[in-house]
Amino acid sequence: MMIGGGMSRWHARGSAVFRGLIVGGVVVGTMLLAVPSGLVRAQAPVPDAGEMALAEEEAFRAAVTAVAPAVVRVEPGTATAALNTRTEAAPSTGPSTGLVLTADGSIATTSFAVPADVTEAVVVFPDGSRGVGRVVGRDDARGIVLLQVAALPAGVVPPAAWVPRTELAVGQWTIAVGRGWDATAPSVAVGILSALHRSWGRSVQTDAAVSPSNYGGPLVDIRGRVIGILAPLPADTAGMNAGTELYDSGIGFAVPLEDILRVLPRLQAGETLKPGIIGIGYRSRDPVNASPVVAVCRAGSPAARVGMRAGDRIVSANGRPVARVADIRHVVAPLYAGDTVTLGLERPAGDQSPRALTVTVELAATLPPWRRPVVGIVPVRAGAAEAAAAPAGDAGGVTVGWVWPAGPAARVGVLPGDVVVSALVAEADGVGDAQAIDSAAALGGAIGSVEPGRRVRLTVRRNGQLRDFDVETAVAPAEIPADVPVGDADPAAVRVMRLEAAELAEPVLAIVPDGGTQDPLGVLVWFDQPRGAVDGEAALRTWRLAAARHRVAVLVPGSSDPQRWGREDIATVARGLDALRARRALDPGRIAVAGSGAGGAFAWLAAERLGPGVRGVALVDAVIPRQATIESAEPGRSRAVLFGGTVPDPTLREADRQRLSSAGYPVGTLPVTEGAGPPVEVLCTWVEALGVL
């Protein structure tokens, strides 16, 4: 077997410090390093370094030997075609590892080895014999797949022991075992348990080397007991959603075996366990530290069925206090569809104290298809803080900047300058409570919680008088309206700003209208053909007038490689946006990314990486990269998409339109413009229109 590097531990006993190896809970070879004056210095004999290294190695070997008979190699592909030959099955993702769980042939592996469209795999046992492992169950929440073989060869037995979660402690030895490289000899990597409750409570973390070859294999302790199954779980808060980006990085995840054994009967019965969904979105897009205030409650979702609504604050989950979004995610993420979670809520009650509510939500596997509903109101611009929770004037409400031409609000008589103070969505029995509107986020949440075609009663304040308007919601428009208001243009009041940051070798250039820190700007990031550094004066001439007319800051990044756009360029843009936010107020509802040619395809990748804060993507003379995935639209994760110009193969663009439309995204067409260069006026008009609610 192949052994990874060993480690020693430091231990404290009173005021003396010892260094030694823990084997089976016993400190071996302690050495007194510091003893206060007056204390006896004599201690147990200290083995030399060679003896300690041998003891360490023997402990690792014993632990691996204890579990090795249960560790198998898993080869994806058509298993039955590969059984009677030593030729490898044609793998789609490469060989990996599995762990025998039961004497009757249940084997756990991961979806890396056996993707969703695969129904069987070759299982290679330690003696070299091969069998068909047929998929009988899946845990999609953790990426675990259960295979069943007809019989186990002699000598292949399940692990003798596993470690309960309650016995796991940060700093204990961990040993990752795999057979992906060689079916007859296990590979071994040694480290420590570096964290508990990772992946929102679904895994533990180790610094032992974890890679595709040992995914599905066991992570064991120094006694050879199984801690869990190594799995490529995503690190979504770091933008790593595939689950494989961290391999061999010193950060690996294992699903505790206790959790797998708890649902093993369901997997053996043929179930596919899906992650549980509540169906809410939060006011802030910070997935960790934001306050858990509901911004949108999806129509038809589990949350909607129990009466949750926008504005509710979650204060507890299954009896655990909740102070931030991360707290609720830690409770819900480990649960499956069909499980229930009891939530304590605080609901705003006007000038009175919030009303306390308790609801029990049964989590769902899927939600009804969602398309963003709007009423055609475009609020006046607000910075991030104002958009989230600041009243407009002493009496509160959201001021209407303009109304979408011929939209639902315009048809019933809502006018620019009206202040929306409350919204009422009728329940099924016709009774409902009006929700006070104190921010654009609150108004968007109230509208976004209903299905297109249902009515919302908006109460507006006009000239000191309150008026009610029953407005029928519609699907968010895809095209740019013809009459979008523009401000007084002063091209001289636009300048090039260098968005410098400590980490950036070359700052991002931005074309920025002058104004105070409280004058919120829309933002457009423009990716042209890659050509290295950007000519700031040329960019200013191109974008100055449109930026001034529509109060849009245009970021024009250069490419680090003159021949291509790269991932590092997205990181540069992200830091440039942060630098711009530190200097000027930005309207979070009006942030878009666009590009032309190679820059257009890259604009889609950049929007994916920058996250849901990007409200629109425009591709000129480009299509979506074939490797890109299109996730279904959700509240807080929906963006408008525009296509413009021409592409060599129009069928590819039509396929993009169909994929986007099926996923719930509004898809429109950039109007044809005259002249060379980017369609600056159209794009800046579009940024303003993205603010529609």
3-class DSSP state for residue 443? Answer: helix
Tokens of 342: 């009891």
Which amino acid would we find at residue 235? A
Tokens 């067409």 locate to: 669
At 8 the pLDDT is 32
The helix (H) or strand (E) run that includes residue 686 is helix 680-689
- Do 280-362 and 67-273 have the same topology in CATH? no
Class in CATH terms, 491-689: alpha beta
DSSP for 354-390, please give it. EEEEEEEEE-BS-------EE-SEEEPP--HHHHHH-
pLDDT means per 10 residues, the chain with 693 residues, are 36 30 34 35 57 79 93 75 39 77 95 90 93 96 95 92 94 93 86 92 93 93 95 65 56 94 96 94 80 86 89 94 93 95 89 87 89 93 55 67 94 95 69 77 85 91 94 93 82 86 74 82 94 88 92 93 91 91 90 95 92 92 88 84 93 94 92 80 94 93
Cβ atoms of 134 and 88 within 8 Å: the answer is no
Please name which of 691, 683, 689, 636 lies closest in space to residue 524, comparing C-alpha atoms: 683
Q: How far apart, in whole angstroms, are the C-alpha atoms of residue 382 and residue 384?
A: 7
Q: What are phi and psi of 184, to 5 degrees?
A: -90, -20
Q: What angle do CA 679, 682, 684 make, to 5 degrees?
A: 105
At 434 the pLDDT is 79
465-472 and 340-349 strand pairing: unpaired
Q: Which fold has domain 280-362?
A: Pdz3 Domain (2.30.42)
Cβ atoms of 681 and 546 within 8 Å: the answer is yes
Q: How far apart, in whole angstroms, are the C-alpha atoms of residue 178 and residue 187?
A: 5
Please name which of 331, 338, 340, 334 lies closest in space to residue 361, comparing C-alpha atoms: 340
At 448 the pLDDT is 84
Cβ count near 325 (within 10 Å): 21
At 225 the pLDDT is 95
Cβ atoms of 466 and 389 within 8 Å: the answer is no
At 415 the pLDDT is 95
Q: How far apart, in whole angstroms, are the C-alpha atoms of residue 96 and residue 213?
A: 5
pTM above 0.85, yes or no: no
Tell me, rounded to whole angstroms, the distance of Cα 293 from its chain centroid.
19
592 Cβ contact partners less than 8 Å away, ≥ 6 residues apart: 522, 523, 524, 525, 614, 615, 616, 617, 618, 683, 686, 687, 690
At 327 the pLDDT is 93
Please name which of 436, 424, 396 lies closest in space to residue 311, comparing C-alpha atoms: 436
Domain boundaries, the chain: 9-66, 67-273, 280-362, 373-475, 491-689
Class in CATH terms, 67-273: mainly beta
Q: How far apart, in whole angstroms, are the C-alpha atoms of residue 214 and residue 236?
A: 22
DSSP for 525-592, please give it. EEE-S--SS--HHHHHHHHHHHHHHHTEEEEEPPPSBTTB--HHHHHHHHHHHHHHHHHS-EEEEEEE
Q: Which fold has domain 373-475?
A: Pdz3 Domain (2.30.42)
